[in-house]
Amino acid sequence: MIALRAAPRRPLVVANLVLIPAAFMLVAIAVPLPTVAIMAVCVVGWAGLTFLNEVWFATVPQLIPQEVLARANSFDWLLSITAMPVGFAVSGPLADRIGIPTTLLGAAALMAVPCLLITLVPGVRHVRRTEAGTIVMEAV
140, pLDDT greater than 70: no
Dihedral Cα 40, 46, 52, 55, nearest 10 deg: -90
8 Å CB contact between 114 and 79: no
What are the pLDDT digits (tens) for 4-60?
788 889 999 999 999 999 999 999 999 999 999 999 999 999 999 999 999 999 899
Please give the Cα distance from 140 to 136 (Å, whole number): 12
135, pLDDT greater than 80: yes
Of these ranges, 73-77, 85-89, 92-96, the one predicted with the greatest mean pLDDT is 92-96
From residue 117, how far is each of 54, 68, 81, 139 by CA, in Å? 20, 27, 22, 21
101 or 140: which carries more pLDDT confidence? 101
CA angle 50, 63, 57 (to 5 degrees): 20
SS3 assignment, position 128: strand
* Percentage of the chain lying above the pLDDT 90 cut: 85
- The dihedral built from the CA positions of residue 18, 20, 26 and 27, taken in this order, carries a sign that is negative
Residue 78 CA, chain-centre distance (Å), reads 16
Strands 135-137 and 127-129: antiparallel
Task: Tell me the mean pLDDT in the region 68-96.
Answer: 93
* The predicted structure's pLDDT at residue 133: 87
Count of other CB atoms within 10 angstroms of residue 72: 14
